[in-house]
Structure formats: structure tokens, C-alpha cells
Amino acid sequence: MLKHQIIPNGKEVRFIFFSGKGGVGKSTMSCATAVWLAKAGYKTLLVTTDPAPNLSDIFGQAIGHQVTPILNIENLHAIEIDPDIASEEYRERIVGPLRDLLDEKNLEIIKEQLNSPCVEEVAAFDKFIEFMDDPSYDVVVFDTAPTGHTIRLLELPSGWTDTLNQSAATCIGPGASLQTAKVKYEKAIDYLQDRNRTSFVFVLKPENSSILETKRSAEELSKLGIATSFLIVNGLLPEEACTDDFFRKKKAGEERIIARIETEFPDLEKVYYPLQDSEVTGTELLNAVARFVYEDKKDETGIKSSPSRSAVFFNQKSYRKLNCHDMLKPTNGQRFIFFTGKGGVGKSTIASTTSLYMADQGYKTLIVTTDPASHLHDIFGQAINHEPTKINGVDNLYAARIDQRQALEEYKERILESVKDQSEETKRSVEEDLNSPCAEEMAAFEKFMSYFDTNGYDITVFDTAPTGHTLRLLELPTDWKGFIDLGTLTKQTSEATQNKYADVIEKMRNRDKSSFVFVMYPEYTPMIEAWRASEDLKKQVGIETAMVAVNYILPKDAGNNAFFGKRRKQQEKYLGEIEERFNKPMIFAHLLDHEPKGLAALRLMGQDMCGLN
């Protein structure tokens, strides 16, 4: 039984991690598990490390960066780790003890070092492990960030061994100040590797891309000595609701994917959780989810509506005929298009469809993914490399995937070349900086910036990482002023990089040059996360949203029964709210009876999405 892998064993605190590709239902499953454990009498803490958290939305109360009791649930507390606040707390822990020991000049040097891009991640991890050694809880449930970034978060401490052994200054603070932290990080890794104390659960949807991401991430965890405990496959179509050819075809495809899951993960326990006819909110529904998962109480899923001929159809208003060509065509020679949003909303598919559509209109188009969990190769059916690759069968379409490790090697080579005539001491210092945890992220951002140079493309489409990390990518350079020259490089190098960044940001703010498109499906969580991120982009970076893409609209000629009628009514409600909140042009993509792969499928989707049928 799965519950034996989450119930505390003896007096030691139990840790349960939920991870997986964005949008698969990690938050729902982690919240449901936390509610169930609390109701079973275990003092439980729920922690999210996701930079775009939604625990407050799920429980209907403010939570934030402080441990907060959940209303009407005895034994349950929660916290949403805020990366900005965590970073300030971390900086103060480093700088505070040094104020009486160092003069103002040396304190300023340390403060400047602590503006490195690493600090936010180390601070989040630092806060995160506070709860891994807290005897006041029986269980700590972690609702983690999307998988690629979670892996990076967990890898950092083991990668810091050499950095923390240095007595010199580092990008995360003076080496001497970090020795006690090193012990703490090693202890945290020991906990994560202990199967008697830690369970690591992957949540996935019955989709090929979700399988690929889960398999890759489980293998990465295994390399760190962290075992996967079990899988929750979320959102299966209930057979009784598949009453027409469209949904019967989708169900048949789903069964093939389930067979693949059984083959790919033969030794792991699995639970298959059905799609509901409404969103899972409130403690009673959350507890029902957990009772299904851990007690096999399948009669509590909420799927009780019998098929009916009544249905509610999405009223496609006048904005339905928005022309993608007119909105996204280049002006003054070049356009940059960004597709972003919550994980799992179909950004890669929408971005790929748009790229092919614009290439077919005669524009030389490049699609670039910055998402570590990208599956462009699966969509186009060919390898997508670090450098632009021509898409087979299309004259004007190219694709690239930013490989962080390869970007780092290119970055190291360029920086070391720039200091080859400097002193040995300078070169040695630069090499140390280039081996810091910060350099990889700096290198990836520099590669991202390179696509804004005049490069022969009419349109460059960016398929971005999930929203919180996209915002962080755009905000980071403003925090890198003290780090950007790696402490030892020439002033000219620093100025050149800052000028390049300023040029990129100016292009991104220019609506004649760049278009930001938020992708979502018509449910509360993806809508509200996209809206908050859109507001943050405008406030923090000065970038206006150009348009909204709403994905997975139920087709009007399928699902004519009570189950999908209820879901249609829900979609209709959120479509109105999306229009009201964003007040931007909208494009729509319908739910398909298959995963869109290959040029033919993408072209059909493009015709539907851009209103040309």
C-alpha cells in the first residue's frame, strides 16, 4: 500500500517530495496528502519551493513566507518560500556576523558578491532545509518546483563541495562563513538518500512528454542516490464520460500511454487518478483525492454524473477571428515572440505551431527553447541541438535548444580568452569564478541574449521555461551588476556585457520588436498564475503582454454529456474572466484527440488556432 511510504516511521520526521513536469497536478497531490496526514493525527508541514506558488489559492487563505496554520484543519501548517525574502534573510545571515569584524569597504565587497545569481537558489535551499531538521513536525510535505529546476536545486549542495572548501571569497559568500552551511547541506543530502525517511513521488499525466520528463528526472535523482518511491498518473479520462468517437479515440490513445508507463517503470508502484468534472479545491475534495490514492476509496472521486444529452458550448465571440499573421509579423525587419505560462499548459506546442505557421507565410523563423524540460524534439520528430537545426520538410524553419553545459563551455572559453594576457593570479582567480555554481546560469543567459543579435531570421520564437523561472531569467541581470565582470575581468568586458543586456531589454520592451504571449488553459490556477506574471513583467521589467493563447478548449461537437457539460460551463466562466483580466487579443486552440506531433498535425492546429477555417 502506498500509504506506508508516507506515514512516519517511529520518532523521525518523514519527508515527502512531489515533483514532475509542470501542470501535472503536483500541488493538488501534495496538498491532498498533507490534508490526509493531518486528519490522521500527524503534525504536518506543507512547503512549496515553486517560485509561482498556489497554496494560498488552493486553501483559500493567505499563506506566504511564514509558517501559517491552515484554517479548520488541526495539525496542518504551510509556507510558500518567497525567493526574494529568502535571499535577503540569507544575505543577512552571512553579512550580520561580519559587521563588527570588517570595515565598510570589505563589507561592500561581500555584499556585491552576494548579488550573484546563485544566491536566490542557495537561499531557497537554505530555507527549505530548515524544515528537514525540525522535530516539531511528524511529516514535512514538499510541493516542489517543476522538475528541471528541482533537480538543479538538489544538485547544488553536492556541487558546492569544492567551493565550500575554498578559504577565498565565493559567489555565495566568504568560504569561511559557509563551513557550517556545508555540514547542513551534507546532512540534508543524507536525509534525501535515506528511503526510510524520505519518499520522492513523481506526478505525471498520461502524455508522452510527461513520461519522457519523469524518466529523465528519475534517472538524474538516481545519480544523486535518491530513489523514486511511486508514481501518481493524474487526469485519466473516466470511461463512462467517453460517449462519442472523439473521446473514445482519446481514451484509446491514453490506454496505449498507460501501457508504456507500465513498461518504462516496471518496478514502481503506480496509482491512476481520474479527471474530475470540476477543479479540486477545498479540504473535503482534497481529502477525497488522498483517500482515493492511499485508501483505494474510488467511490469518492466525484464522478457520479451519468451521461446526458445536455451540454454547454463555448460561445466563440468576435475576437475568435484574430489573425496571427497581423499580430506577429515582423516590423522594421525582425520580431521576437515569447510564449510563457504555467508548466503543462502547452507552451511548446503553441510555440511550435506558431513557428511553423509563420514560416509557411514566408518568414525565416527560428524557435529557441530555454526550458530544461523541453520536448521540441518530440513535437518535430527530430533532434534539436544547441545550435540552430533546420526542420526537415520546411524551407524557413529552424530550431535550437539551449544546452546549459555546452553554453558554459563556450562561456568559459570566451572569458579565458579575454584574460589570456593578464597575470597568472588574475587568470587563476577567473578560473575559480568560472567553476562557481553561478557561471552556468550566466552562460545560459548570455546564450539567450545572443539570439537578439542580427542573425538572418525574420522571426525568433522563444519557448520559455515555466513562468516563475522565466521572470527570474529576465530579472537576474539587474542583480548581476557586481558579478557581471566575475570580480576580476576588465572594466571593458563588464561594460560591454551590461550594454548588451540593456539592448536586449530595450528590444523586449519595444512592442514593434517583441510580443509576449501568455499561454493557459481555462482553469483558475493557470489563469491566475499567468495574470500575476503578466503584471510582474509590466511592473518589474516594463514589458507589456501582447496577447493571450487559451489552450485545450473542449470541441463543440464532442463530449455531449453531463460530465463534459460541467467542464464546459467551467471553461466558459474562466474564458470570460481571462478576457476581463487581461483585456488583450486572444487566440484559441481546441483539445485534440491526439498529441500534436509532426508538420501535418501542427499545420491543422495552426489553421484552427489562427481562425482560418
**Is pLDDT of 307 > 70?**
no
> Does residue 221 share a domain with residue 370?
no
**Mean pLDDT on 500-508:** 83
DSSP letters, 148-208, are HHHHHHHHHHHHTHHHHH-SSEETTEEGGGGHHHHHHHHHHHHHHH-TTTEEEEEEE-SSH
- What's the pLDDT tens digit per position in 83-105? 788 888 888 888 888 787 878 88
- What's the pLDDT tens digit per position in 526-549? 898 899 889 988 887 888 999 999
Within-domain flag for 321: no
Cα(251)–Cα(253) distance, integer angstroms = 5
Cα(478)–Cα(285) distance, integer angstroms = 43
**Is pLDDT of 366 > 60?**
yes
Q: What is the mean pLDDT of the chain?
A: 81
> Does residue 214 share a domain with residue 85?
yes
Q: What are the φ and ψ backbone dihedral angles of 549, each rounded to 5 degrees?
A: -115, 120
- Helix, strand and coil content of the chain, in percent to the nearest 5, comes to 50, 15, 35
Within-domain flag for 182: yes
Q: Give 459's strand partners.
A: 335, 365
Cα(306)–Cα(579) distance, integer angstroms = 32
pLDDT band at 480 (very low <50, low <70, confident <90, very high): very low
pLDDT at 482: 42
Q: What are the φ and ψ backbone dihedral angles of 47, each rounded to 5 degrees?
A: -125, 130
Cα(366)–Cα(236) distance, integer angstroms = 35
Domain boundary among the residues 228, 244, 271 is at 228
pLDDT at 428: 78
Max mean pLDDT among 145-149, 300-304, 305-309, 583-587 falls in 583-587
What residue type is assigned to position 82 of the chain? D
Within-domain flag for 502: yes
- 154 versus 524: the higher-pLDDT residue is 524
Cα(12)–Cα(379) distance, integer angstroms = 45
> Does residue 345 share a domain with residue 220?
no
pLDDT at 309: 41
In three-state form (DSSP H/G/I as H, E/B as E, the rest C), the secondary structure along 206-244 is: CCHHHHHHHHHHHHHHHHCCCCCCEEEEEEECCHHHCCC
- 466 versus 394: the higher-pLDDT residue is 394
The CATH number of whichever domain residue 144 belongs to comes to 3.40.50.300
Cα(296)–Cα(279) distance, integer angstroms = 20
pLDDT at 170: 57
pLDDT at 34: 96
Q: Domain range for residue 62?
A: 8-228
Within-domain flag for 513: yes
Within-domain flag for 240: no
Domain boundary among the residues 168, 199, 228 is at 228
Instruction: Report whether 588 contacts 320 (CB < 8 A).
Output: yes
Cα(602)–Cα(597) distance, integer angstroms = 7
**Is pLDDT of 517 > 90?**
yes
170-184, 234-248, 252-266, 508-522: lowest mean pLDDT where? 170-184
Strand order in the sheet with 198-204: 68-69, 76-80, 44-48, 139-143, 14-19, 198-204, 230-236, 269-274
Q: What are the φ and ψ backbone dihedral angles of 568, each rounded to 5 degrees?
A: -60, -45
Per the structure, how many domains does the chain have? 2
Cα(377)–Cα(401) distance, integer angstroms = 9
- 559 versus 225: the higher-pLDDT residue is 559
Three-state SS at 307: coil
> Does residue 215 share a domain with residue 362?
no
- 465 versus 219: the higher-pLDDT residue is 219
**Mean pLDDT on 192-207:** 91
Instruction: Report whether 150 contacts 47 (CB < 8 A).
Output: no
pLDDT band at 234 (very low <50, low <70, confident <90, very high): very high
Cα(377)–Cα(354) distance, integer angstroms = 16
- 64 versus 332: the higher-pLDDT residue is 64
pLDDT at 321: 46
Within-domain flag for 438: no
Report the Cα 258 to chain-centroid distance in Å.
Answer: 24
pLDDT band at 306 (very low <50, low <70, confident <90, very high): very low
CA dihedral 26, 70, 50, 264 (to 10 degrees): -20
Domain boundary among the residues 228, 251, 267 is at 228
CA angle 350–522–602, rounded 5-degree value = 20
**Burial zone of 421 (CB within 10 Å; 0-12 exposed, 13-18 middle, 19+ buried):** exposed
Buried b (16+ CB within 10 A) or exposed e, 95-110: beeeeeeeeeeeeeeb
pLDDT at 444: 79
Cell output for 444: 545560459
- 213 versus 497: the higher-pLDDT residue is 213
Instruction: Report whether 148 contacts 140 (CB < 8 A).
Output: no
**Is pLDDT of 20 > 80?**
yes
Cα(36)–Cα(284) distance, integer angstroms = 10
pLDDT at 311: 43
Q: 463543440: which residue's cell?
A: 556
Q: What is the DSSP letter of 2?
A: G
> Does residue 220 share a domain with residue 342?
no
Cell output for 575: 474564458
Instruction: Report whether 257 contacts 211 (CB < 8 A).
Output: yes
Give Cα separations from 542 to 474, 476, 480, 537 (angstroms): 11, 15, 18, 6
Within-domain flag for 439: no
**Is pLDDT of 319 > 80?**
no
Residue among 582, 531, 571 at smallest CA distance from 279: 571
> Does residue 527 share a domain with residue 387?
yes
Cα(605)–Cα(610) distance, integer angstroms = 9
Report the Cα 299 to chain-centroid distance in Å.
Answer: 33
3-17, 87-101, 136-150, 266-280: lowest mean pLDDT where? 136-150
Cα(393)–Cα(29) distance, integer angstroms = 42
**Mean pLDDT on 186-199:** 85
Within-domain flag for 174: yes
C-beta atoms surrounding 456 within 10 Å: 10
Q: What are the φ and ψ backbone dihedral angles of 532, each rounded to 5 degrees?
A: -60, -45
Cα(114)–Cα(409) distance, integer angstroms = 24
pLDDT at 572: 93
Cβ neighbours of residue 573 under 8 Å, at least 6 residues apart? none
Residues in the chain: 613
Q: Give 27's strand partners.
A: none
Strand order in the sheet with 514-520: 389-390, 397-401, 365-369, 459-463, 335-340, 514-520, 545-553, 586-590
- 314 versus 180: the higher-pLDDT residue is 180
pLDDT band at 302 (very low <50, low <70, confident <90, very high): very low
400-404, 433-437, 456-460: lowest mean pLDDT where? 433-437
pLDDT at 138: 92
Residue among 304, 320, 333, 342 at smallest CA distance from 466: 342
pLDDT at 76: 96
Q: What is the DSSP letter of 41?
A: T
